[in-house]
Chains A and B, each alone.
Chain A
Amino acid sequence: DIQMTQSPSTLSASVGDRVTITCRASQNIVTWLAWYQQKPGKAPRLLVYKASFLERGAPSRFSGSGSGTEFTLTISSLQPEDFATYYCQQYNSYPYTFGQGTNLAIK
């Protein structure tokens, strides 16, 4: 199975900050990567797919980049509603796997 490793596991930031979350794959996954946001008690929400394609309805302050084994999710200017947990997911190879999550908390 492809292992997905996110860093950091926890990130403290303030409203207005620019933040970046990294996701590393144990094998080349080309650009077959999605990012999700999850708030407590809710299902994940798709933000980005194919590494850099913004899902319809996702705010433009979110952006994804990367290819191969290293990927990033960037939030250009944090808003109060962005404090949540973020997950990456590879869909290059079966079985499809997720990162362990990055908890974005208010500083």
Chain B
Amino acid sequence: QVQLVQSGADVKKPGASMKVSCRASGYNFIDYYIHWVRQSPGQGLEWMGWINPHSGGTNFAPKFQGRVTMTRDTSISTAYIELSSLRSDDAAVYYCARSKLRIAVSNLPFFDYWGQGTPVTVSS
């Protein structure tokens, strides 16, 4: 069965960087886009961007441009998100999610499988 398993909770200081991993199993990792969505009490659900695991190509929401990096390691079917220059309002649960449709079909970004979420706290 399809599973996305994320790394554990993290605590960071303001100005630091965070990195969250998302390991996929149960399907061919390179066939589906991986998106990152975060959820905070103040902002609700926010789409952050996607990575094409096949090509490594990425696209980010304008709000996060310049601060976010998305990478993947196809040898271990894992996607990563890094967010730099952390602020208090970056405290959130970060989710990876898989696009329902295969890359070869479309990049319509709605999501049929989600990771369990990674809480990130930003505090001095």
Does the CB pair A49–B100 fall under 8 Å? yes
Known contacts A95-B47, A98-B45, A100-B44; A46/B62 CB under 8 A? no
Using a Cβ–Cβ cut-off of 8 Å, how many residues does chain B contribute to the interface with A? 20
Interface string of B21-63 (1 = CB under 8 A from A): 0000000000000000000000011110000000000010111
Give A50 Cβ to nearest chain B Cβ, in Å.
8
Known contacts A34-B110, A43-B95, A89-B110; A98/B116 CB under 8 A? no
Does the CB pair B110–A44 fall under 8 Å? no
Interface string of B59-78 (1 = CB under 8 A from A): 10111000000000000000
Does the CB pair B116–A43 fall under 8 Å? yes
**Chain B residues whose C-beta falls within 8 Å of the C-beta of A101 in the assembled complex:** 44-45
Interface string of A88-100 (1 = CB under 8 A from B): 0101001111111
Does the CB pair B47–A98 fall under 8 Å? yes
Interface residues of B (CB under 8 A from A): 44-47, 59, 61-63, 95, 97, 100, 108-112, 114-117
